[in-house]
Amino acid sequence: MSHQLRDQILTAYDWTQTQLQKIFDAIPREHFLHQPSPGANHALWSMGHLATVDQFFLKSVAGRDSGVFERYATLFFAKSTPSPNADAYPPIDAVREYFDSSRKAFRAWIESLDDERLAAPLPAEQQRFAPNYAGMLMRLLWHEGMHYGQLTVLRKSLGLAPVRI
């Protein structure tokens, strides 16, 4: 069974994950709720959001429902609103653990796919994202890059130096 496409997606996923880890690590904890403008995404929300998106696709596409998505969806999923109030969120370490475990589970799912499955159509209700599994994963990588860009703006608004990739 061919794994060329899967291996390329995993390489891109790993690179994106490394860059996200670096930028989250480069944001001082005391600034994790900083919003560069009112209503903008802050680092804690972005971290929780990326983990929740992973959980959404693990549940809805991969059939791997750990029950975690429902616990965090109202805080971090689409249409949630980032709040500067720390009391609205779990502690940073808990969100980081959620992020790390979600990323690990999502990567393991990608690793389980072969190129034939990656080329297969997504379930009908998910085809608004992409026509097939590979396309969905590419769009998710783009989504993560968009949030990375928001985090660079957040750092810049704090007067912090860019994180080198």
Domain ranges of the chain: 4-28+35-157
Q: Which residue has the tokens 């998710």?
A: 140
- The per-residue pLDDT for 2 is 72
- Which architecture, in CATH terms, is 4-28+35-157? Up-down Bundle (1.20)
pLDDT recorded at residue 165: 82
- Tens of pLDDT along 42-88? 999 999 999 999 999 999 999 999 899 999 999 999 999 999 999 99
* CA nearest to 46, candidates 128, 137, 139, 145: 145
For the entire predicted model, the pTM comes to 0.95
| Beta bridge pairs of residue 132 | 121
Q: What value does the mean pLDDT of the chain take? A: 96
Q: What contacts 72, CB < 8 A, 6 or more positions away?
A: 48, 51, 52, 55, 98
Q: Is the per-residue pLDDT at 9 higher than 80?
A: yes
